[in-house]
Amino acid sequence: MSEEAKTQQAEVHLQKIYLKDASLESPNAPEVFRGGEWKPDVNVEVNTEASDMGEGNTNVVLTLTVTVTQDDKTLYLVEIAQAGIFTLRGLPDEHKRQVVSTFCPTQLFPFAREAVSGLVERAGFPQLVLQPMNFDAMYRQHLERQQQTQAASTETAH
Mean pLDDT lowest among 27-36, 75-84, 98-107, 113-122: 27-36
Angle between helices 104-122 and 135-157 in degrees, nearest 10: 110
* Type of residue found at 42: V
The rounded percent of the chain whose pLDDT value lies above 70 is: 92
The rounded percent of the chain whose pLDDT value lies above 90 is: 76
- Helix, strand, or coil here: 19? strand
Tens of pLDDT, residues 106-158: 999 999 999 999 999 999 999 999 999 999 999 999 889 888 887 777 766 66
Residue ranges of domains in the chain, CATH in brackets: 3-133 (3.10.420.10)
Buried residues in 129-143 as b, exposed as e (16+ CB within 10 A): ebeebebeeebeeee
pLDDT of residue 6: 47
CA 9 to chain CA centroid, Å, is 28
Cα separation of 79 and 94, whole Å?
30
Between 6 and 72, the higher pLDDT residue: 72
Cα separation of 74 and 70, whole Å?
7
Name the pTM for this structure.
Answer: 0.85
Between 82 and 153, the higher pLDDT residue: 82
Sorting pLDDT into bands at 50, 70 and 90, what band is 3? Answer: low
Cα separation of 109 and 90, whole Å?
25
Between 134 and 9, the higher pLDDT residue: 134
